[in-house]
Amino acid sequence: MKLYLTFFLCLHVSYSYAQIATVPLQSNAVIDNFLEANPNYHWAESEIKNKWGVKDTLDLPFFDDFSHEGIYPDSSKWLNNQVYINAHFPYLPPSIGVATFDQLDQQGIPYNNTINKDFKGPGDSLLSQPVNLQDSAGLPYQLSDSIVLSFFVQANGYGYHLAGEDSIRLFFKNSFGNWVQVWSRAGQAETSAFDQIFIPLNNAAYLHKGFQFLFTTYSRQVGNANHWHLDYVKLDKNRSVNAIYHQDYAVQGLPSSLLERYFEMPYEHFILDPSSEVADSLYVRASNLDEDTLNIEVKHREFFNSIELVNTSFAANAANIFPLNSAQRRLESYNFYSGLTGPLPVVLQREFEVREAGVINKFTDNDKVSAQQRFYDYFAYDDGTAELGFGFDHLTNPSNIEGEIAYRFDLKKQDTLYGIGVFFNRSVFDVSREQFTLRVWQEIAVGGATEDILIYESTPLIPQYTNQINRYHIHYPDTLLILPEGEFYIGWHQSSMFNLNVGWDRNSGRHENPDLVSEDLYYKLFGTWSNANLPYGSLMMRPYVGSSREVFASVEPIEQKPTRLSFYPNPASNEIHFKERLKYLKVVDQCGREVISAEKVKSIDVSSLPTGIYWIFARNSSDQSLRSKLLIFAPQ
């Protein structure tokens, strides 16, 4: 039997993990969210700009390591914005931030709004501004000036794997206006380290005032997949293809969370026992691109409401990093929680900066990284970005079996569960009308527990696609769910096999050690819970606790509560009758077991049910959710 993960795309090509696999998804939620939040944003795709004003061409050197903030390339260096600038998809890049190539346009949707794994064509491209290679200080460039273009490239990273027919290509524009392919690389299934490539400009036809270079991909039309990651692009004179080092060091990735178990958690629970939740160490990675071993120091600062909470000295966190290598840097955690007050969310602003004392660093933009630590009213193992998707594999599992997913969380006090957040991804397999139910358990039959204790099940639902980063669809239970202190589970049940395609965060924000398997996620097939052979990462489901609030109500309409189902008699002992013909119904006992199910009915026989309390979940001909409590008094 298999579960499967799905990447941002949608066709069935999978990674196998014994009982699970991976396939791609469809779009890029980060870009979609940015464009919605910035409706007037305009990317200046044609104007050449630099700090001296508008010019006709750029001068050497040309350099970009994509460490700037934002999701699009720097328009002063590049003429288009199809690639995605990010720090989540690459694996150990030379410096923080890369340009990711996929099969999505600048709006984060598939080209031609089509997913077709059998069609191959151009994907993303990255086109440089014109560069003046005709003259320098009044003198013409010669081939003897040894102008070389170098860059680092990686296939896949945390993204989806490539096939041999997929490729990335590099073109130069000569003085005749023709584009000449000078380099290419075929796709590969496995992720390897970033590879540095050197391309000498050894043809005089390239030495003109309007020289440009173009990276482009050729791939199957599969959306947010078949990833290539480009970093540290450098074009300059007096270079050698054997000069592989750069006088630079950099932050390599995002810092770890302040929390040990969760990426984020409710402030009211955190503050009850902060010492048990705070990580004993903080991590950030640094890289060394120089030819010498460098003693890299790290400075760590954090702020709350502009009040500085910590400011470590550079010298307190120093360690050697070998040439063309990187290292995880460990910093001591600190007591940040004693002075946190104010309304939710509680947000800490965080900064990490690297340096080597006494050594000149030619490029400083990649020496610092900023992040936030948020405390609100939800628990989250994930960092809010989905590299994959998660669900049961309907192409492998028998279609007539049921499946369940359960995700464990831990309350520090009794509290009300007012919402369940789910990040749904679209897939090539259309499940937009497939039904499932959300469930809440006090415990499930794992460890020392002998049976599942189900305390809530929703009416049948269908996926709700917000398709935006940090914009989870929130389900609001119509039953008051007061949970005791301790563990509980949220998840879902599906009565047939299909891929629900819930978001999956590949690195869970744990960039210091992304290859961790969740110990809190379980799946059930054939009546048995298991967490064997899960992939690395975290499921993007979140429980919301405390006082009910309209989460993202200005963007997403609140899910309507199910309408009360009308029937008679109640209590009943033999047969009950409904006031309308129902499209579907099921009767569930207090332990969450389904005891009756039926379709297209106006009455059902309940004489086989023992005395007790039951729930009826139903949908009418208008596809409206209905539910009601049923009391059974069985004849003695």
Are 628 and 605 within 8 A, CB to CB?
Answer: no
CA distances, 428 to each of 13, 26, 113, 119, 422 (Å): 11, 7, 12, 14, 19
Which of 200-214, 357-371, 548-562 shows the lowest per-residue confidence on average (mean pLDDT)? 548-562
Give pLDDT, residue 39: 59
Q: Can you tell me the distance from the alpha carbon of 194 to that of 388, in angstroms, rounded to the nearest whole number?
A: 21
Work out the average pLDDT over 20-34. 53
Is 256 within the bounds of a domain?
no
Give pLDDT, residue 555: 31
CATH number of the CATH domain containing 336:
2.60.40.10
Give pLDDT, residue 427: 62
Name the pLDDT band for 21 (thresholds 50, 70, 90). Answer: very low
Q: Can you tell me the distance from the alpha carbon of 17 to that of 412, in angstroms, rounded to the nearest whole number?
A: 34
Query: H or E segment at 30?
Result: helix 29-37
Is 237 within the bounds of a domain?
yes
Is 116 within the bounds of a domain?
yes
Is 251 within the bounds of a domain?
no
Do 367 and 503 reside in the same domain of the chain?
no
- Strand duo 20-23 + 281-288: pairing: unpaired
Do 361 and 436 reside in the same domain of the chain?
no
**Per residue in 125-144, pLDDT tens?**
999 999 999 988 778 899 99
Do 222 and 274 reside in the same domain of the chain?
no
Work out the average pLDDT over 323-329. 90
Is 157 within the bounds of a domain?
yes
CB atoms inside a 10 Å sphere around CB 290:
19
**Per residue in 75-134, pLDDT tens?**
999 999 899 999 888 999 999 999 999 888 777 777 766 666 667 778 899 999 999 999
Do 170 and 303 reside in the same domain of the chain?
no
Give pLDDT, residue 410: 95
CATH number of the CATH domain containing 524:
2.60.120
**Per residue in 216-242, pLDDT tens?**
998 877 777 788 999 999 999 999 999
In this structure, is the dihedral angle defined by the CA atoms of residues 422, 381, 285 and 314, taken in order, positive or negative?
positive
Q: Classify residue 539 by burial, with Cβ atoms within 10 Å: 0-12, 13-18, 19+.
A: buried
- Strand duo 98-101 + 84-86: pairing: antiparallel
113 phi and psi, to 5 degrees? Answer: 55, 35
Give pLDDT, residue 232: 96
Do 76 and 221 reside in the same domain of the chain?
yes
Collapsing DSSP to helix, strand or coil, 183 comes out as strand
CB atoms inside a 10 Å sphere around CB 272:
14
Q: Can you tell me the distance from the alpha carbon of 510 to that of 528, in angstroms, rounded to the nearest whole number?
A: 30
Collapsing DSSP to helix, strand or coil, 538 comes out as strand
**Per residue in 344-399, pLDDT tens?**
889 999 999 999 876 767 788 899 999 899 999 999 999 888 777 788 876 666 66
CATH number of the CATH domain containing 96:
2.60.120.260
Is 583 within the bounds of a domain?
yes
Q: Can you tell me the distance from the alpha carbon of 26 to that of 102, in angstroms, rounded to the nearest whole number?
A: 11
Choosing from 516, 545, 574, the residue where a domain stops is: 545
Is 50 within the bounds of a domain?
yes
Q: Is the pLDDT of residue 564 over 90?
A: no
CB atoms inside a 10 Å sphere around CB 564:
11
Do 405 and 527 reside in the same domain of the chain?
yes
Q: Is the pLDDT of residue 552 over 70?
A: no
Give pLDDT, residue 8: 35
Tally of domains within the chain = 4
Give pLDDT, residue 53: 40
Choosing from 545, 572, 594, the residue where a domain stops is: 545
Q: Is the pLDDT of residue 418 over 50?
A: yes
Do 208 and 305 reside in the same domain of the chain?
no
In this structure, is the dihedral angle defined by the CA atoms of residues 511, 73, 366 and 290, taken in order, positive or negative?
positive
557 contacts: CB under 8 Å, gap ≥ 6: none
**In the chain, % of residues over pLDDT 70:** 83
Give pLDDT, residue 389: 78
- CA-based nearest residue to 110, from 181, 237, 236, 25: 25
Give pLDDT, residue 163: 80
Do 230 and 107 reside in the same domain of the chain?
yes
Give pLDDT, residue 45: 52
What six digits make up the tokens of 259? 């929390």
- Strand duo 625-632 + 563-564: pairing: parallel
CA triple 194-195-199, angle to 5 deg:
140
Per the model's pLDDT, the better-predicted residue between 634 and 383 turns out to be 383
448 phi and psi, to 5 degrees? Answer: -90, -5
Are 588 and 615 within 8 A, CB to CB?
Answer: yes
Q: Can you tell me the distance from the alpha carbon of 616 to that of 592, in angstroms, rounded to the nearest whole number?
A: 11
Q: Is the pLDDT of residue 54 over 70?
A: no
Give pLDDT, residue 38: 62
The DSSP 8-state label assigned to residue 268 in this structure reads H
251 phi and psi, to 5 degrees? Answer: -70, 140
CA triple 27-29-32, angle to 5 deg:
95
Do 360 and 429 reside in the same domain of the chain?
no
Q: Can you tell me the distance from the alpha carbon of 262 to that of 542, in angstroms, rounded to the nearest whole number?
A: 11
Do 510 and 619 reside in the same domain of the chain?
no
Give pLDDT, residue 115: 65
Collapsing DSSP to helix, strand or coil, 145 comes out as helix
**Per residue in 156-204, pLDDT tens?**
888 777 787 889 999 999 999 999 999 999 988 888 899 999 999 999 9
Is 20 within the bounds of a domain?
no
Are 513 and 281 within 8 A, CB to CB?
Answer: no
Do 363 and 453 reside in the same domain of the chain?
no
Structural domain of 108: 43-244
Do 604 and 537 reside in the same domain of the chain?
no
Backbone dihedral region of 583: left (phi > 0), alpha (psi from -120 to 50 degrees) or beta? alpha
